[in-house]
Amino acid sequence: MIPLWWCWQQKGTRGIPEQKQGAFATDSPVRESCDRQGAAAGGQPVKMELTDQQVMIRQAAAEFAQKEIGPHVREWDRDAHFPVDVMRQAGELGFLGVLVPESYGGAGLGYVEYVGVIEEIAKVCPAIGLSVAAHNSLCTGHMLLFGSEQQKQRYLPQLATGRWIGAWGLTEPTAGSDAGGTRTTAVRDGDEWVLNGSKTFTTHAAVGDVVVVFASTDASKKHHGISSFVIDKGTPGLTVGKHEDKLGMRASDTSEVVLQNCRVPADALVGREGEGFKQAMKVLDGGRISIAALSVGTAAGALGHAIDYAREREQFDRPIGAFQAIQFKIADMATETEAARLLTYRAATLADEGKPVTTASAMAKLFASEVAVRVAEQAVQVFGGYGFVKDYPVEKY
């Protein structure tokens, strides 16, 4: 498998390995479809065309997913197993520090490369795609954007290489979309902060080596009184609560973080006191791009399986793909997937250009996530009754 650092060194070259064929072929329309103008926020056009290097990175991610993840998807889903060893491998290849500068041990790439990695992994297993996205965008992304130089030096090399898995705790039982309603508290006590409260639906809470959590440091200021803290695994007072037994995405750990008189040093504060809410909104701008990419990959994976099955399954002495009813489904699925991909790459391109992405990333996530649901549902319909059983792949999408 090709690590991202090698792909980066090949910038500007034409030595691209021959693309693989099949349901997960990396010769998707993305390269051609991105070679066009997309209307950006504010009416500014964005030119999107994948370079040879970016295509190579997608291929590296696709190869990794097919070889290291694909054979185990059903088992991990059944057992709700988080594959720590495979995540470590992903880190060694650069997939867990795509946006992190090389000086901190990362791949030093951009959002366009990042969404390609997430899409290719999600094609094979959306759950692992989710974990890779959450690790990159949330905990690692937060430290990259707002960590002090000391915090960056301590955490980023570990996170970017996969030696440590990162978690990010914002959501609470009473503070979901209303992040400003955070009830977890942090009280200053000399040279320490004392945290109490809990976080729910936290990706990697049970398997993470470090977690960024949000807590109210001044309740009178509401969301302007929320701060963020970075806490190492094993810190007294930090424990893991309930593991969520989910309907889907079962190979991605989702658990509760519990803080009971958890004491952390003053320098565990990330950024300045009271800026946690603003930090979270900035982090989530990038996170929405990664979830859009995850959704595109989910849709593309389901679509690929549906196409393969429509070619192989025969009824009335012909492949079911020869029937117009199936053709219409696949045409709609492919069109929506491509539209979602373009929205996602538009947001990624804007991010790489340093332009505002709040609107573009939200649009990409909204559309792509709904497309993923529709395409997965239609893929099950293409499979008929077999789409509902675990012996066939589309049930998990």
Span 262-272, average pLDDT: 98
C-alpha 93: how far from chain center: 16
CATH fold of 26-148+280-396 reads Butyryl-CoA Dehydrogenase, subunit A; domain 3 (1.20.140)
pLDDT, mean over the chain: 90
Q: Which pLDDT score, from 0 to 100, does residue 1 have? A: 64
Give the chain's end-to-end CA distance (angstroms, integer). 26
* Residue 352 pLDDT > 90: yes
* Residue 39 pLDDT > 90: no
Residue 203 phi, psi dihedral angles, 5° rounding: -65, 125
Q: Sorting pLDDT into bands at 50, 70 and 90, what band is 323?
A: very high
Write out pLDDT tens, residues 284-297.
999 999 999 999 99
- Which of 6-15, 42-51, 346-355 bottoms out in mean pLDDT, i.e. has the lowest? 6-15
Write out pLDDT tens, residues 64-109.
999 999 999 999 999 999 999 999 999 999 999 999 999 999 999 9
Distance CA 252, CA 126 (A): 9
In the CATH scheme, what is the code of domain 166-274? 2.40.110.10
Span 263-277, average pLDDT: 97
DSSP secondary structure letters along 241-285: EEEP--SS-TTS-EEEEEEEEEEEEGGGEESSTT-HHHHHHHHHH
C-alpha Rg value of the chain to the nearest Å: 21
Write out pLDDT tens, residues 221-239.
999 999 999 999 999 999 9
Q: CATH 1.20.140.10 spans which residues of the chain?
A: 26-148+280-396
Q: CATH 2.40.110.10 spans which residues of the chain?
A: 166-274
Sign of CA dihedral 346, 348, 353, 358: positive
Q: Which pLDDT score, from 0 to 100, does residue 243 have? A: 96
Q: Which pLDDT score, from 0 to 100, does residue 179 have? A: 76
Q: Which residue has the higher pLDDT, 396 or 198?
A: 198
- List Cα–Cα distances, 16 to 23, 51, 219, 338, in angstroms: 20, 11, 55, 24
Q: Which pLDDT score, from 0 to 100, does residue 175 have? A: 85
Stated pTM of the model: 0.88
Q: Which pLDDT score, from 0 to 100, does residue 11 have? A: 47
Q: Which two tokens stand for residue 265?
A: 């040093």
* Residue 25 pLDDT > 80: no
Nearest to 296 by CA among 333, 245, 269: 333
Q: Sorting pLDDT into bands at 50, 70 and 90, what band is 15?
A: very low
Q: State the virtual CA torsion across 82, 85, 86, 88 in degrees, nearest 10.
A: 110
Of the chain, the percentage scoring pLDDT greater than 90 comes to 84
Span 115-138, average pLDDT: 98
* Residue 174 pLDDT > 80: yes
